[in-house]
Amino acid sequence: MPTYLLGIIQPSGPAAPPEMLEPIMREVGAVDQAMRDAGVWVFSGGLHDPSTATVLRARDGGVVVTDGPFAEVKEQLGGLTIVDVADLDEALTWGGRLAAATTLPVEVRPFQG
């Protein structure tokens, strides 16, 4: 079965207030549980703010370390879920459910191999 990344794309900036975030997190939890029940869930998790990122670049036989995100953007990967499903159609179905639950765009991308 192919494995897919369901990447949650969130806007840069402060988090939503708790009164908005709580019902969204309940919906996300329900979709997560449905994936587990269906046997397709592999892993999921949220990411800290992009300002916590460290970028490593190979340069002149060494590695250069830079604090912060790779690029300034209006949206970034805010969380991810990995699913092991029959095909792209099934991945898109789960990605659609996750998009509806989060109210955010979800990028569906297959892993190589």
Domains and CATH numbers, the chain: 3-110 (3.30.70.1060)
The arithmetic mean of pLDDT across residues 16-32, rounded, is: 95
Task: Pull the structure tokens for residue 102.
Answer: 């989060």
Q: What is the pLDDT of residues 29-69, one digit of tens each?
A: 999 999 999 999 999 999 988 888 898 999 999 999 998 76
Q: List the strands of the sheet with 106-110, edge to edge.
A: 41-46, 75-84, 3-11, 106-110
On average, the pLDDT of the chain sits at 93
Closest residue by Cα to residue 98 from 20, 7, 11, 12: 7
Q: What does the pLDDT read at residue 96?
A: 97
Q: The whole model's pTM is what?
A: 0.87
